[in-house]
Amino acid sequence: MKGKELPNLKVMDFISDMGAAYKAADLIISRAGASSISEFQIIGKPVILIPSPNVAEDHQTKNAMALVNKQAAIYVKDAEAPDTLLPLALKVIADDSKLKSLSENVKKMGLKNSADIIADEVLKLIK
């Protein structure tokens, strides 16, 4: 579909205001870094994860599978993305019940008080 315009799809190389981008999105397509995963869990947006094959010990696949195993994300292998990603994304975006279940399941995984938990652990180490 290279070169084809699709309504409601905006591909960008850099986004400076991710909060606004996430808010506007109905479905997120992303790599599976730990920071991104934690953001998705807090905001509760449905996501298709494409782990980078260029990371140490394939940790992004492990991150992605932690969500996939709880029906909180969809996984696509990087090598398969050129052929499967667009049809899959269009199928998911048209399925309101799938979007809703992904959103609910990923949000359940978020720890809104994570900063407090980390601070408590640091304080325990100090004592």
**Is 117 exposed, middle or buried (CB count within 10 Å of its CB: 0-12, 13-18, 19+)?**
exposed
**Alpha-carbon gap, residue 50 to 77, rounded angstroms:** 6
Query: Is the pLDDT score of 2 beyond 60?
Result: no
> What residue spans define the domains of the chain?
18-126
Of residues 7, 1, 80, 15, the one with CA closest to residue 48:
80
Q: Which distant-in-sequence residues (6+ apart) come within 8 Å of 101 by Cβ?
A: 71
Nearest to 69 by CA among 100, 110, 109, 22: 109
Residue 5 reports pLDDT greater than 80: no
pLDDT of residue 1: 46
pLDDT of residue 13: 81
* Residues belonging to the chain: 127
Total-model pTM: 0.84
Is the domain covering 18-126 a CATH 3.60.9.10 domain? no
